[in-house]
Amino acid sequence: MSSCIFCNIIQGKAPAEIVYQDELVTAFHDNHPVAPVHLLIVPNKHIPSLNEWEASDEPTAGRLLSVAKCLAEQFHLRQSGYRLITNTGADSGQAVFHLHVHLIGGRRMRFLG
């Protein structure tokens, strides 16, 4: 989608500090970090949210989590811990309608509630 900022980042048409990219997913630094480490991991295929996820997308789900684990190790979060968040829909706080996982760490997290 030409109007999707994440699609443009994946295609190299918009700037981002990309930390990982392969045939299924791309990971880059969030422009509005809430912690010392705040990365976004996105499928390269445009999927608006988890609600539009299909069974054929399951290999990408595994890659998203595998990449999150590897990046947590790369950014030295394994010992202290990290949070993975996926927002689905406007009421959840989803601002960009391209499925993405936030990898957040580097400080103590507060409980949501």
For 32-69, write each residue's pLDDT tens digit: 999 999 999 999 999 999 999 999 999 999 999 999 99
Domain boundaries, given as residue ranges, for the chain: 5-105
Q: What is the mean pLDDT of the chain?
A: 95
Q: Which residues pair with 40 in a beta bridge?
A: 28, 102
Residue 113 has pLDDT above 90, yes or no: no
Question: What mean pLDDT comes out for the span 21-25?
Answer: 98
Q: Which of 29, 32, 76, 100 is catalytic?
A: 100
Task: Kindly report the CATH class assigned to 5-105.
Answer: alpha beta
Residue 1 has pLDDT above 70, yes or no: no
Question: Predicted confidence band at 110 (pLDDT cuts at 50, 70, 90)?
Answer: confident
The order of strands in the sheet holding 101-105 is: 18-21, 25-29, 37-43, 101-105, 82-85
Cβ–Cβ contacts within 10 Å for residue 99, how many? 26
- E-state strands within the chain: 18-21, 25-29, 37-43, 82-85, 101-105
Q: What's the pTM?
A: 0.94
Contact 44, 23 (CB under 8 A): yes
100 is catalytic: yes
pLDDT of residue 106: 95
Contact 71, 39 (CB under 8 A): yes
Helices in 23-104 by DSSP H: which ranges? Answer: 58-74
